[in-house]
Amino acid sequence: MDAQNQGYGAVARALHWLMAALMILQWFSGEESKAFGGMSFHFSLGLTLMLLVLIRLGWRVTHPVPALPSSAPAWERTVARLMHLSWYLLMLALPLSGILYRQFRGKTTSWFGLADLPAWLSPDKYWAHQSEDIHKILGTVFLVLLTLHVVAALKHHFIDRDGVLRGMLVRVAVRPAR
């Protein structure tokens, strides 16, 4: 890892790992809703994740990410930027498609039974079906991106040995040159 690259800050790391855990839980709660007491948990967690991604986007805009090591080829840096952009788009599109699905079905979406999302769309079977399909496709895209993300992190750690993964795990201390 480059000397100027000291890893992500504590807030960025906390948001990353919290959202990673919640997104995996979210996927399981959608696939195995009975184990979670029905779909209401899935809906509530989706709304929570949407709020967290907005917070995370705000943090990212105001706190630049560490640069990849200078040893990383240009194509790899481009792919990393595209991957991060894809994650943010996905983290916004998944809850939005879920909300649209519920709205077009004429269903109320409650946040843990404490507050209901207001209905602003009229029920429409065609658009309910379309938004459900989109939501399911995005769930598959989530699994693909997750796999690629984990493989890339492991590559950086075990093959490149460049400290990129450590920068997201713990604060990396840079030792002064001797």
Q: How many CB atoms lie within 10 A of CB 85?
A: 10
Buried-state track 5-44, b at ≥16 Cβ within 10 A, e below 16: bebbeeebbebeeebeebbeebbebbeeeeebeebbbbbb
pTM: 0.87
Confidence at residue 3, expressed as pLDDT on a 0 to 100 scale: 35
Name the percent of the chain lying above pLDDT 70.
92
Max Cα-Cα span within the chain: 69
From first CA to last CA, the distance across the chain in angstroms is: 17
What are residue 110's DSSP bridge partners? 116
Confidence at residue 32, expressed as pLDDT on a 0 to 100 scale: 95
Higher per-residue confidence, 69 vs 113: 113
Q: Hey, what are 126's tokens? A: 């065609």
Domains in the chain, ordered, with CATH? 10-169 (1.20.950)
pLDDT category, 44, cuts 50, 70, 90?
Answer: very high
* Phi/psi of residue 67, nearest 5 degrees: -75, 150
Please answer whether residues 19 and 53 qualify as being in contact, where contact means their C-beta atoms are separated by less than 8 angstroms: yes
Name the percent of the chain lying above pLDDT 90.
80
Residues in the chain: 178
Does the pLDDT at position 4 exceed 60? no
Confidence at residue 173, expressed as pLDDT on a 0 to 100 scale: 53
What is the rounded CA–CA span in Å between residue 68 and residue 91?
23
Query: For 58-64, what is the mean pLDDT?
Result: 94
Confidence at residue 167, expressed as pLDDT on a 0 to 100 scale: 85
Does the pLDDT at position 1 exceed 60? no
